[in-house]
Structure 1
Amino acid sequence: MSAELSIQQEVVSLIPALQKFAWRFHRSQTDVDDLVQETLLKALRALPSFTPGTSLKSWMFTIMRNAHHTAYQKSRRVTVGTNNMEHLIPAASSPQEWAIRKIEYDRALAAMPPVYRHVFHLVIEDGQAYDAAASECQISVGTVKSRVNRAKHFLANHMGDTMSTVAAI
């Protein structure tokens, strides 16, 4: 028990070094403090796995580097699809404008090349998963994603919109 207490005291004494090391990853005091706190929590949870006689400082720095790397990778993940794009939808317009936009949409959809239209219909309008649409069309998932993207760009160009407004479709 006293060995664990002395290691905990040593962990506390390493806080200034951890803060200094955290500046390599972040440029704001808030982010540095968050990373140090995350490192301390993970280190204290994993304290039983620490091998006495090895460098506690190196162990803590490794935990910090891995915590930063995990957070960075998580922030870079991109979700494919149209979920969570509500902020891209403009404020509701009048019913007359919606009726006109619907006519424009139908015309643009009719003018779209059939290969794009079919995949667009399956994924966007019917809500099928990319892999389900791929097996139905007997093409790869990458081809489905590409065709959906091209269909969105076609609609944007044909309707005179930017991709941010068409992405809400």
Structure 2
Amino acid sequence: MPQSLCPQNPPIETRLQRQVVDLIPALRAFARTFTSTPFDADDLVQETLFRALRSIDRFKPGTNLKSWLFTIMHNAFRTQYKVRKREAPGTTNCAELPLPTAATQDWIVMDRELRVALDTLSPEHREVLVLVAGYGLSYKEAADHCTCAIGTIKSRLSRARDELAEHMHGNPLL
């Protein structure tokens, strides 16, 4: 009888498969050190078994089967971890969340409205508003630029903001 059909001497791959099955409890225990839920641990064990049995012919007899399986599990976990980090799932109710950015056409309309409203301001108010709110200058820097007192800058800025909000239909931008 050929060796593969003889029940006393099963082929090496069959013996290895049985040994792999015998190591499943150890694989489960090791998988729990990587994952936070038993379900994820079982998935990791299943992936490890799939990879191990798929490439059982690469196992070198005489080496430690348990270490080989643990290495496969560790590599499977690292691969899954990288994929999860790269392809993180969205939130469960992502359809209910607000859009991360406003639609661009709204900004175009508001930009146009803002430019029209800025043109209605007096030159002094427009200049102070652009210097402080637009360029981010301090009151002192704006006062130095306009050669006037800081109080004058504050007053002009306040009036400019009020006028601008009125022209923007009560939608204060600044």
TM-score (ref. length: structure 2): 0.49
Sort the Cα spacing of 1:19 and 1:49 in 2 relative to 1 into closer, same or farther, 3 A: same
Please list the CA deviations of residues 105-143 of structure 1 after superposition, one character each: whole Å capped at 9, or x if unmatched: 2145567xxxxxxxxxxxxxxxxxxxxxxxxxxxxxxxx
CA contact (8 A) 1:108 1:159 kept: no
Unaligned runs of 5+ in 1: 80-85, 92-100, 112-157, 161-169
Matched, 1:62 2:81: no
Closer/same/farther in 2, CA of residues 21 and 107 from structure 1, 3 Å limit: same
Q: In angstroms, what is the RMSD of aligned CA positions?
A: 3.2
Letter matched to residue 108 of structure 2: D
| Other structure's SS at 2:61 match | coil
Give the total of aligned pairs.
99
Is 1:49–2:58 an aligned residue pair?
A: yes
CA–CA distance in 2 between the matches of 1:21 and 1:62? 11
Q: Which residue of 2 aligns with 1:73?
A: 82
Residues 9-158 of structure 1 mapped to structure 2, 5 A cutoff: 9-77=18-86, 87=95, 104-108=106-110
Structure 2: state its 5+ residue gaps. Answer: 5-10, 89-93, 115-170
Q: CA 1:104/1:5 → structure 2, altered by over 3 Å: closer, same or farther? A: closer
CA-CA distance at 1:159 after TM superposition:
9.8
Compare CA radii of gyration and give the structure with the larger one: 2
Partner Cα distance (2:111, 2:63) in 1:
66
**Residue 4 of structure 1 pairs with residue 19 of structure 2:** no
Between stretches 70-79 and 25-34, larger displacement belongs to 70-79
Counterparts of 1:60 and 1:88 in 2: how far apart (Å)? 44
User: Distance in 2 between the 1:27 and 1:102 partners?
Assistant: 42
Q: TM-score, normalised by structure 1?
A: 0.50
Give distance in 1, aligned partners of 2:87 and 2:111.
27
